[in-house]
Chains A and B, each alone.
Chain A
Amino acid sequence: MFTKHFSGQLASYIDGELAQRKVQQAELHLGQCARCRTECEQVRYGMAVLEHLPLVEAPEGAWASIEAAFQQSRSRTTATTGRWRLAFAATVVLVLAGVAYWAGVHQSGMRWEIVRLAGSPIVGAKQIREAGRVGAGEWIETDSRSRAAVKVGEIGSVEVGPNTRVRVVAMRPDEHRLALLRGEIRARIYAPPRLFFVDTASGTAVDLGCEYELKTDEDGFGMLRVTKGWVSFQWKGLESLVPAGASCRTRPHVGPGIPYFDDASENLKQALESFAFEKGGNETLSIVLTESRARDTLTLWHLLSRVEVGDRERVYDRIAALTPVPDGVSREQALKLNPETLKRWKEELSWTW
């Protein structure tokens, strides 16, 4: 029997989305609880007033704009593909000729296209003049004046910045993986989450549908900056979730730091770095807590599971002071780092991120 009020489930009860067993419990409870009966009527009323919200017709010319944008996008792809194919065919004709052309076509299905953007990028030991292909196991290397763009299968593209060394590790439909030894890449991925990965010395960036910049040195000192969507940065079971507008530092033997929004205060950023990577103590934690805005609950939510047990209450209290604790999140379970509780809280907080 429902001994607790069930405010959070009233909509599912009214919409017939509650399991039959719970419906019976709910009805028993409603029979005894005036408060829930009142709230139930309120939710019904809230649903009923929406009947006064009319459907609005989309503007007449919208389809033409969409179609034009689509055609533009297709012609760009076709033109680019055309240039790549021409360069590829020319190379094949020069090097292999005749029958080897067909072998080249067959092989092209397993390699990604790469174009030179500036300077003299190298694939393996070969300099890319205009366009070429890169396969699994091959390195792409740029010097201080070189840049290149790689078409990552059918899911997006990666721009390889200057002074970068990156290897193609896997190019399967379910796993597109690069290893960034040093330098900087900018990824634009338009695929379902968890199909594109970039390994670095301090962890792996897992695409959750996004655009981002990632730079690192060979030791693993690096920075992830997300401009669209989300990226998960993972290292030995530690995970930092970084949304658009936020960044996260990485360090060797530590993995991802605690993400923060780029518009957070400089004091917060400095204190956070000190706390995360230099064993900063109470004072630095106090600065982080004091400087945090509602949006910085991104930082505080990550901090909750990374501070010492004794400091956890301070972090919890600060989040609770910045934004109401939602139903289903209890202080006790949050302080115990109950995964379901933390997940539920993140779902609520992420609307402000």
Chain B
Amino acid sequence: MINLSDREISAEIIASCRLGDRDAFRALYDVYKDRVYSISLYFFHGDQAMATDVSQQVFLKLMTSIGQFRGDAEFSTWLYRLVVNACMDAVRHSKSEAIISDRFRMEAFAGTGSQEEDYARAEMANSVRAAVSALPPKFRIAVLLRYFEDLSYEQMAEALHCSMGTVASRLSRGHKILAERLKGLISAKK
């Protein structure tokens, strides 16, 4: 098994993937799986089935089309472009976006521990999840990409098919909406 530290995606690994090397694909998957899944999960309001389906689509697409990755863009930019396309395609084909948004699936985020000391932290996390979930899709995906992947604005523009100015505008507006909805949360819960 190939072990990769975070983001150490070398040209050799990509080349191995192109040759159909199972271990190389697995190594790529291990590096990105949690972030791709988390972005999909928060994007789809905690819908685990949808997040799993979208994540699988993304990695399957990656495996079947890695020959088309030309290396003139960073690998992560290309990957997150697949994520954005998969998420937005799913939104376009889903009639239930608004409905799901209204009944945010909190159960998907049930914590691993139930200790009372974690209660406040869990409550805060739930508030943030609900606020992110209520963002319009274009703001939501931008905020999640920036937060989980820390892409540069240039990379985000590439992944989101828009200009860097639009990225800045969406992030500004998205974070402002979050701040308005979560006003006082940090100080109140500390």
A residues near B, CB below 8 A? 7-12, 15, 17, 39, 42-50, 52-59, 62-63, 65-67, 69-70, 73-74, 154-155, 190-192, 209, 228-229, 243-245, 326-328, 344, 347-348, 351, 353
Contacts and interface: CB of A to CB of B under 8 A. Distances in A.
Contacts of B48: 59
Q: Is the interface of A mostly helix, strand, loop or mixed?
A: helix
B67 A56 contact: no
Contact of A50 (B128, B137, B167, B177): B128
A85 B126 CA distance: 57
A328 B128 contact: no
A-B pairs, 6 with minimum CB distance: A46-B175, A11-B171, A58-B37, A46-B178, A12-B168, A46-B179
Chain B interface category by residue count: 35 or more
B174 A245 contact: no
B63 A57 contact: no
Nearest to A192: B68
Contacts of A190: 61, 64-65, 68
Given A66-B29, A66-B56, A244-B93, A56 B175 contact: no
Q: Is the interface of B mostly helix, strand, loop or mixed?
A: helix
Interface stretch (B7-15, B99-107, B146-154): B146-154
A1 B171 CA distance: 23
B172 A11 contact: yes
A210 to B, nearest CB: 10
Contacts of B147: 47, 50, 53
B163 interface: yes
Contacts of B153: 12, 15, 17
B172 A8 contact: yes
Contact of B186 (A43, A49, A154, A353): A49
Interface string B133-145: 0001110000100
Contact of A54 (B29, B55, B125): B125
A208 B36 CA distance: 24
B88 to A, nearest CB: 8
Contacts of B173: 7-8
Contact of A347 (B61, B163, B172): B163
B179 A328 contact: no
Interface of B: 20, 22, 25-26, 29, 33-38, 41-42, 48, 52, 55-56, 59-61, 63-65, 67-68, 70, 85, 88-89, 92-93, 109, 121, 124-125, 127-129, 131-132, 136-138, 143, 146-148, 152-153, 161-169, 171-180, 182, 185-186
Nearest to A340: B163
Contacts of B176: 7, 10, 39, 42-43, 46
Given A42-B180, A49-B186, A62-B52, A73 B89 contact: no
B75 to A, nearest CB: 15
A8 B56 contact: no
Contacts of A327: 169
Nearest to B38: A56
A245 B128 contact: no
A58 B33 contact: yes
A17 B165 CA distance: 10
A327 B38 CA distance: 30
Contacts of B146: 15
B187 to A, nearest CB: 10
B52 A59 contact: yes
A18 to B, nearest CB: 8
A69 B60 contact: yes
A50 to B, nearest CB: 5
